[in-house]
Structure 1
Amino acid sequence: MTITQIAPAETESRVNARLAERTLPTLEVAGAMHERFAEILTPEALAFLTQLHELFAGPRYDRLADRLRRGYEIGNGRDPRFRDDTARIREDDTWRVAGPGPGLEHRRVEITGPTDPRMTINALNSGADVWLADQEDATSPTWRNVIGGQLALRDAIRGRLTHTSPDGKRYEVTAERTPTIVMRPRGWHLEEHHLRFTDAYGRTMAASGSLVDFGLYFFHNATELIARGRGPYFYLPKLESSEEARLWDQVFTFAEQYVGIPHGTIRATVLIETLPAAFEMEEILYELRHHCAGLNAGRWDYIFSAIKTYRGRGARFVLPDRNEVTMTVGFMRAYTELLVKTCHKRGAYAIGGMSAFIPSRRDPEANARALERVAADKKREAGDGFDGTWVAHPDLIPVARAEFDAVLGDRQHQVDRRRDDVAVTPRQLLDLWIGRAITDAGVYGNVSVAIRYIEAWLRGVGAVAIDGLMEDAATAEISRSQIWQWIRQEQVTEEGTPITREHVSSLIDRVLAEAPRTDGDRFDEAAEVFRDVALSETFRAFLTPKAYAEHLVELA
């Protein structure tokens, strides 16, 4: 091979020419400026977002490219494993994470929900210890929701949020003690098309949803939260590697320097909700150690990630009906026990998974049975060593709190419980075989739930009560990815029905025929989105990006 050398003078001229091409990066608001949007999209806030993108847009794309490479390797037979190149981190017993910040020490029960004004008020009145203010899976990313959520949070933090519903009912925060807010920005893979970033070389691209959500919330609220002794705190979704955690740590460090607050003021809790991340939990904690409060077992996205990661690797990786994949099956039990052990080894809180049951007064007997299941789930988590847990509805808070009170007593946490009895192997994490059936009802349920959720999402509603459960983007992902996998793996239901494209298409038609059609519904579009993400030859990594770009973007 011949190597052509470039003379130093020529190299310098090329560098100078490249530098001459550079201009100042800009961030343009492409969406409409609705009422009060100017309070959030201030010139100062946009300047901060511009610098975030100038520094971190490139590394973000690098991390997303790493995801594609890793997914290709796993699809071709190279299983995830505990990394050899980071063994020194796991073997060093001396380092610890920063731990909880002020107002985050007590996390026994956390409630999750979107950030529209009414849901914000409901969460703050709920009696939970923490509110996960969700700009991601529970929020449909319409432009009004994205900026409206920032307005609601800004007002709530300052104690001035009220809301009047269309029927004239007024809502306000009445709780004497409100939950500590932990905001969840969108994942690294999501974009914000209503803001357009042009880099120093004139290349224009959609802004990063992660950087927009984080940047606007942090810029407007960090000093106020510090003054109130309760923040700024974040939940980090969809991470797949410690390198992605390192990128967030770099964002936090820059943001702290930008507004002049001490390094380590920000605290983050990472959702371990992807299969690759389960193999790098210690490394993720290490990269974020100066800003890290703990890890959360994001159960629904974790199930989705397991299906997505092993969708093409054969029948032994096929999961049964969605409701059969409980937290007591082998691979889920292995993942959660490893999470508790990892957290407590490093002084981090371990937060349990979501109970998505929505209480109903119409069927007291069914309600009682469901509450018993919720109690059993929280009893298991507390007994396993978790320091807190998630619920989707205020009525579940007393049930969850009672189970954690019984184990924790007067303690704020049980981080001192090391769980040295736990020894989890890669094989246990990857043993997806459950040995239970796929049923006709399970297939139809996935089609029905996914289409009904997507229809609501297209109307701007990101958290939806369907058949007694709170559904969000994560549970819709499980439903559509199972359909895709069952078709590709030529599965047959317990009743003998082959799961084919034709059969699923007939179920889509059935769902549309049974849907409560009204003026302004978006069921036809929802069915179109579902067909794309469940029946196409190519598997889409996430259902929302294309649906967002084609159906939710409204540029001024």
Structure 2
Amino acid sequence: MMATYLGFYDVPEGVDVGGRYDEEFAGILTRDALQFVAALQREFRDHIRYAMECRREVQRRYNSGELPGFDPATRLIREGDWACALVPPAVANRTVEITGPVERKMIINALNSGAKVFMADFEDALSPSWENLMRGQVNLRDAVNGTISFNDQARNRVYKLNDETAKLFVRPRGWHLPEDHILVDGAPVIGCLVDFGLYFFHNHAKFRATQGDCYGPFFYLPKIEHSREAKIWNRVFERAEKFAGIEKGSIRATVLIETLPAVFQMDEILYELRDHSIGLNCGRWDYIFSYVKTFQGHPDRLLPDRVQVGMTQHFMRSYSDLLIRTCHRRGVHAMGGMAAQIPIKDNPAANEAAVELVRKDKLREVRAGHDGTWAAHPGLIPPIMEVFTSNMGGKPNQIQMARREDAGNITEEDLLQRARGVRTMEGLRLNTRVGIQYLAAWLTGTGSVPLYNLMEDAATAEISRVQNWQWLKYGAVLDGEEVRVRVTPELFGRVVEEEMARIQMEVGLEKFKRGKFEEACRIFTRQCTSPELDDFLTLNAYNQIVARHPNTPSKI
């Protein structure tokens, strides 16, 4: 029998914790909790590895000229008359959901924001350092227990939860990200199993006791590309429910449709999760990133400037309409996309113009049939809420309401139609400026970054990276220039140098010196100019923030 000593985590056989010891973290990384995570890792790691290899094989086919499309083998699922489990009453109304990282003050403000749901994010809005991940688990445990508070000494203010709060959803990392600080049988645990496993283990009983019904916890599932990945999640949920002794179907999840292959698998994804599903979400920023990644071998599919790739593009509108039709046919929520705007405090006119753009976007969503939508900032919740509630006939959602007739005619050609617009020097510059600044913040532990009146996360940084790569790879010609300008490594090198000078001017010399802008610039530039497109910016950059302590044993 192993004794535990101050400063060391007590771990089960085959598990090693290489992250910094902290007494609060030890309350999360208990022996039993780690045993639960290790059991998930051992049971599902081979299935996940196979799913990742399938992704790579499919991408090789796309690179050879194949196009994604509906799978003939699953036609009967798409055409079948089946439905998902009924939506729990506690989350029937999801008109506005706010998202953000699992930071303590953010959690309190988001739960108090007036939104119907807060999605606490371990993924795109969080830099996955050991400190952020473990502190996030502590914060969520305290939030579920209702004891969370934050003393902001700079503002001389204490933040606490209101009597009425948003429903809590949690988004773990995607399948592709490892957790290098926790090893099981000598290999890093899959990051999402750490995020899900620790949160579920510590909170499922209290969550269900305080939510007023027998359902939950609730999750968002990111980066899924195929129904086989949804099937793995379904089995993870069943395993967790059996472990906890709770009813099958207690755990509920919304899947983000944020990859191009997944749009052709929406029925199949819902079918695999039908006992645990409460809908799909238009993850539109990652969807644009995935479009470029999917078509990285297709020089005839260069996107225009990212600011022009909105929901009015035919392929984007078709994706949204098909998601709504699919969800409502199966009896679950069809959630709209992110409003990334943040208040412009020093310019009321510009702020009102930005809010008006949000209103128009959300009016489009609710009229199309969406049941709710996302906001990045609490200031957007009142105008978005007003748009949705005034256009939904007093109903909490539109699942049973009339649907658009033309949505059933969406074809593969609709979903793959080429984007219209121009490619400009300013688009190249904006991509470079945003990508470097976001990555610099990410390397210092911040995953959600306000830039140019928008809240940027990993998804928009990924768009910036892959679009630069695409334009460089195929020598895109820029529009709007007096002479013909082609994107070359030499041109990109000059743009990087000039944008770094602009960043230094905007943030100030002292902040520039203290930050990781030079390191971020090297990583971003290397990925934009690489002969082969890296799958994920954050996967490559993760090595820069890992701080394992291999000489510190977890137990004695």
Query: With structure 1 as the length reference, what TM-score do the two structures score?
Result: 0.92
Cα drift, residue 391 of structure 1: 0.4
User: Do 1:341 and 1:420's aligned partners in 2 also have CA atoms closer than 8 Å?
Assistant: no
Letter in 2 for 1:222: H
Determine helix, strand or coil for the equivalent of 2:267. helix
Are 1:107 and 2:85 matched, yes or no? no
Are 1:503 and 2:503 matched, yes or no? no
Cα drift, residue 141 of structure 1: 0.2
Q: Equivalent residue for 1:377?
A: 361
Output the CA distance in 2 between the equivalents of 1:378 and 1:134: 22
> CA offsets per residue over residues 395-450 of structure 1, 9 Å max, x none?
1001111111121132111111343431110011111231x111111110000000
Cα drift, residue 510 of structure 1: 1.9
Output the CA distance in 1 between the equivalents of 2:255 and 2:457: 19
Aligned counterparts, 1:190-339, within 5 A: 190-198=177-185, 204-229=186-211, 231-315=216-300, 317-339=301-323
Output the CA distance in 2 between the equivalents of 1:553 and 1:404: 45
Are 1:85 and 2:73 matched, yes or no? yes
> After the TM superposition, which of the residue ranges 181-190 and 509-518 deviates more from structure 2?
509-518
Output the CA distance in 2 between the equivalents of 1:118 and 1:102: 28
Determine helix, strand or coil for the equivalent of 2:90. coil
Are 1:31 and 2:31 matched, yes or no? no
C-alpha change, 1:287 and 1:27, in structure 2 (3 Å) is same
Q: Equivalent residue for 1:545?
A: 539
Output the CA distance in 2 between the equivalents of 1:172 and 1:99: 36
Q: Equivalent residue for 2:514?
A: 520
Letter in 1 for 2:494: S
Output the CA distance in 1 between the equivalents of 2:58 and 2:317: 24
> CA offsets per residue over residues 268-296 of structure 1, 9 Å max, x none?
00000000000000000000000000000
Are 1:426 and 2:420 matched, yes or no? no
C-alpha change, 1:297 and 1:286, in structure 2 (3 Å) is same
Output the CA distance in 2 between the equivalents of 1:322 and 1:433: 11
Determine helix, strand or coil for the equivalent of 1:295. strand
Determine helix, strand or coil for the equivalent of 1:132. strand
Letter in 2 for 1:428: D
User: Do 1:99 and 1:349's aligned partners in 2 also have CA atoms closer than 8 Å?
Assistant: no
C-alpha change, 1:89 and 1:487, in structure 2 (3 Å) is same
Cα drift, residue 106 of structure 1: 1.0
Output the CA distance in 2 between the equivalents of 1:92 and 1:271: 22
User: Do 1:63 and 1:243's aligned partners in 2 also have CA atoms closer than 8 Å?
Assistant: yes
Q: Equivalent residue for 1:535?
A: 529
Q: Equivalent residue for 2:143?
A: 156
C-alpha change, 1:90 and 1:467, in structure 2 (3 Å) is same
User: Do 2:313 and 2:419's aligned partners in 1 also have CA atoms closer than 8 Å?
Assistant: no
C-alpha change, 1:312 and 1:25, in structure 2 (3 Å) is farther
Cα drift, residue 197 of structure 1: 1.3
Query: With structure 2 as the length reference, what TM-score do the two structures score?
Result: 0.92
User: Do 1:184 and 1:236's aligned partners in 2 also have CA atoms closer than 8 Å?
Assistant: yes
Q: Equivalent residue for 1:67?
A: 55
Output the CA distance in 1 between the equivalents of 2:476 and 2:539: 28
User: Do 2:63 and 2:295's aligned partners in 1 also have CA atoms closer than 8 Å?
Assistant: yes
Determine helix, strand or coil for the equivalent of 1:408. coil
Output the CA distance in 2 between the equivalents of 1:33 and 1:403: 48
User: Do 1:195 and 1:207's aligned partners in 2 also have CA atoms closer than 8 Å?
Assistant: yes
Cα drift, residue 108 of structure 1: 0.5
User: Do 1:125 and 1:175's aligned partners in 2 also have CA atoms closer than 8 Å?
Assistant: yes
User: Do 1:102 and 1:229's aligned partners in 2 also have CA atoms closer than 8 Å?
Assistant: no
Q: Residue 152 of structure 2: which of 160, 165, 170 is its match?
A: 165
Determine helix, strand or coil for the equivalent of 1:245. helix
User: Do 1:99 and 1:294's aligned partners in 2 also have CA atoms closer than 8 Å?
Assistant: no
User: Do 2:65 and 2:297's aligned partners in 1 also have CA atoms closer than 8 Å?
Assistant: no
Q: Mind listing any 5+ residue stretches in structure 2 that lack a counterpart? A: 1-11
User: Do 1:312 and 1:488's aligned partners in 2 also have CA atoms closer than 8 Å?
Assistant: no
> CA offsets per residue over residues 192-212 of structure 1, 9 Å max, x none?
1010111xxxxx211111100
C-alpha change, 1:300 and 1:171, in structure 2 (3 Å) is farther
Determine helix, strand or coil for the equivalent of 2:477. coil
Determine helix, strand or coil for the equivalent of 1:103. helix
User: Do 1:458 and 1:551's aligned partners in 2 also have CA atoms closer than 8 Å?
Assistant: yes
Cα drift, residue 65 of structure 1: 0.4
> After the TM superposition, which of the residue ranges 380-389 and 119-128 deviates more from structure 2?
119-128
> After the TM superposition, which of the residue ranges 117-126 and 96-105 deviates more from structure 2?
96-105
> After the TM superposition, which of the residue ranges 288-297 and 397-406 deviates more from structure 2?
397-406
Are 1:347 and 2:334 matched, yes or no? no
Cα drift, residue 386 of structure 1: 0.4
C-alpha change, 1:99 and 1:182, in structure 2 (3 Å) is farther
Output the CA distance in 2 between the equivalents of 1:505 and 1:161: 48
C-alpha change, 1:171 and 1:136, in structure 2 (3 Å) is farther
Letter in 2 for 1:458: L
Letter in 2 for 1:118: K
Letter in 1 for 2:499: V
User: Do 1:124 and 1:173's aligned partners in 2 also have CA atoms closer than 8 Å?
Assistant: no
Letter in 1 for 2:342: I
C-alpha change, 1:102 and 1:78, in structure 2 (3 Å) is same
Output the CA distance in 2 between the equivalents of 1:404 and 1:554: 47
C-alpha change, 1:169 and 1:507, in structure 2 (3 Å) is farther
Determine helix, strand or coil for the equivalent of 1:181. strand
Determine helix, strand or coil for the equivalent of 1:128. coil
> CA offsets per residue over residues 477-522 of structure 1, 9 Å max, x none?
0001000000111112121332111211222222322323435310
> After the TM superposition, which of the residue ranges 215-224 and 98-107 deviates more from structure 2?
98-107
Are 1:49 and 2:31 matched, yes or no? no
User: Do 1:272 and 1:298's aligned partners in 2 also have CA atoms closer than 8 Å?
Assistant: yes
Q: Residue 448 of structure 2: which of 463, 467, 484 is its match?
A: 463
Output the CA distance in 1 between the equivalents of 2:56 and 2:153: 45
User: Do 2:226 and 2:269's aligned partners in 1 also have CA atoms closer than 8 Å?
Assistant: yes
Q: Equivalent residue for 1:403?
A: 387
Q: Equivalent residue for 2:3?
A: none
Determine helix, strand or coil for the equivalent of 1:421. helix
Q: Residue 106 of structure 2: which of 119, 124, 130 is its match?
A: 119
Q: Equivalent residue for 1:175?
A: 162
User: Do 1:340 and 1:419's aligned partners in 2 also have CA atoms closer than 8 Å?
Assistant: no
> After the TM superposition, which of the residue ranges 447-456 and 500-509 deviates more from structure 2?
500-509
> After the TM superposition, which of the residue ranges 101-110 and 350-359 deviates more from structure 2?
101-110
C-alpha change, 1:243 and 1:522, in structure 2 (3 Å) is same
Q: How large is the RMSD of aligned CA atoms in angstroms?
A: 1.4
Aligned counterparts, 1:471-482, within 5 A: 471-482=456-467
Cα drift, residue 168 of structure 1: 5.9
- Count residues in correspondence: 525
Cα drift, residue 77 of structure 1: 1.5
Letter in 2 for 1:333: R
Are 1:440 and 2:402 matched, yes or no? no
User: Do 2:150 and 2:160's aligned partners in 1 also have CA atoms closer than 8 Å?
Assistant: no
